[in-house]
Chain A
């Protein structure tokens, strides 16, 4: 006997084809419905979850800033997402090879914090932070299948790169201070920087409330009053209970996506387990010992190159439109066109030629920072528009 269902189907097709066709089509509604439900869930759930801004008592901007200043969070652990979009040309792997090449050139291991944390300058990254008082902190940079951890425990600072199994170690009495000197990575670091610049050139307002990492937070909106800057607005979400900044967003005046977006996606103010900060180099790992005080080393290394050039450096203007300036000392300016060969031409093509009272130069633009390198070797850089930069250069002349 033939399989009865096939009998059924064949007979049905023979006798009442339209009916059977409809019934068959109806079955396909099931996968379509599953796709629809999934799409609706993906689309609607975040929207519904984000709709409820928390109801918090009103607070003035002044009080909120004081709250941030008074905030003294000693213990926390959490996950931070950092998203940087400076609008730099995407160099892809070239960037990495340049960075690692630079690291190798200076004889540093891949576990050196300096070579690792520069990768935060572009793209999206996930960090984990944990802190227990001023003596114990941990910062981990989560990569696909590997992780870079920077652990400060008392006198020791350990850097561990699980990808290459290399360890960096430095022990010094004032290592705690050194840790603070590292590149900023948490929303609090950025917020502190932004609040330093608050003066009469800035308007600070409280812009409602929001939920960040499941916590109620006030939104502090910092806007430059001056024209000529490329900074559109800075928004800081401040935890209503502890006063700790949970999220920091910098949007450029030109609109579009945020240049810098740093925020906790998960945070807890409980004391992290002590084992978090314990580190012993794994068997077989290559350990690079830092004998000198790292801060001094950094200063001497980068200092040497720039020391000459930085002579005559200074800041023009004030507030948001301040422009940093220094003299590279090379009178030829950029190696452009035929003089610098192919590479010079390539570098020059990334910028835009401008001229003014200061002479001639090339402006390199990102979405936030513009830099003008004049042909006589002076550099002007700031978070200002191109016109403001040229004006500053004219004035500085």
Chain B
């Protein structure tokens, strides 16, 4: 498969005329994208910040309750915080509730915003397109990489919180927020399920960031716009006059992951959240595709 041959002008869909690379090749592209993304200092710094949040929360709760005191004074603070001292597993839920509104979407916004615009900004996008992948395939690979980062970021918070919780606080059977008891094993299962739901909650932001990333040639501009949108939408979600629009904001049902700690689980908001994220992925994913495949790449 020589890349030196001139490409016929009549070829409209790249890579379609007898040049379709094997699926293994796509896998190779994905792997190289994943490795590049995770190896960046920026990504490592973001993950370190995410891992530090549960440590901070855990130590703060430990210090505050040292004298047998009470944390969360009558229900203030992030969800589940008053239960941490009794069961370290609750640190996982508190840490996810604390990072989901800002830290996690910010990290995803940075990675997603950088995906296309960063390559364009540093002049490497045209070389990526030389590879026989085609733009659609490259975009899909980029999006898959961002989704993998969503999962990775969430798992970093979860694992960090689990370790800190196990070190600082007792573990054991836990009480669901409905007042029923479940075993530690089931609690751990629910924690994992919650981590997956939180990762899925970021699918919408990832698609939005990817779309913004195709609009501009500057990586910084794309990251700033995506993170700015995350903040703006969450502020708008607090304005009561906009209540008719709010169910369609990607962040509206984020905290519904707490419904997994009810017994029986209350699925209404959870399914709404997942449906909404799928909708955002479809709308902004296809918009990113339309933009990216129709755009002139000059850098």
Interfacial residues, chain A to chain B (CB-CB below 8 A): 1-11, 13, 23-24, 27-28, 30-31, 34-35, 38, 79, 100, 110, 126, 128, 140, 142, 144-147, 149, 151, 158, 160-165, 265, 275-276, 278-280, 282-286
Contacts and interface: CB of A to CB of B under 8 A. Distances in A.
Contact of A6 (B9, B79, B126, B282): B126
A3 B130 CA distance: 5
Given A4-B11, A10-B296, A282 B79 contact: no
B8 to A, nearest CB: 9
Contacts of B245: none
Contacts of A3: 126-127, 129-130, 297
24 contacts: A3-B126, A5-B129, A5-B134, A8-B7, A13-B296, A27-B293, A30-B286, A31-B284, A31-B286, A79-B268, A128-B266, A140-B178, A142-B266, A147-B177, A149-B179, A151-B179, A162-B178, A163-B79, A165-B72, A265-B268, A276-B263, A282-B86, A283-B86, A283-B172
Contacts of B75: 110, 146, 161, 163-164
Interface in B119-152: 126-127, 129-130, 134-135
A396 B7 CA distance: 98
Q: Which of A151, A160, A162, A284 is packed against the most chain B CB atoms within 10 Å? A: A162
B299 to A, nearest CB: 10
Nearest to A275: B180
A286 B70 contact: yes
B294 A24 contact: yes
B82 A164 contact: yes
B85 interface: yes
Q: Which of B11, B127, B175, B178 is packed against the most chain A CB atoms within 10 Å? A: B178
B7 A7 contact: yes
A145 B80 contact: yes
Nearest to B247: A42
Contacts of B259: 142
B290 to A, nearest CB: 4
Contacts of B67: none
B258 A144 contact: yes
Nearest to B276: A38
B229 to A, nearest CB: 17
Nearest to B72: A164
Contacts of B266: 79, 126, 128, 142
A30 B290 contact: yes
Contacts of A31: 283-284, 286-287, 290
B262 A147 contact: yes
Contacts of B298: 6
Nearest to A33: B286
Contacts, number: 140
Contacts of B180: 275-276, 278-279
Nearest to A140: B178
A27 B290 contact: yes
Contact of A144 (B175, B255, B279): B255
B86 to A, nearest CB: 4
A238 B127 CA distance: 69
Interface string B255-299: 100110011001010000000000100111011011101111110
A6 B293 contact: no
A90 B172 CA distance: 43
B190 interface: no
B82 A6 contact: no
Contacts of B14: 4-5, 8
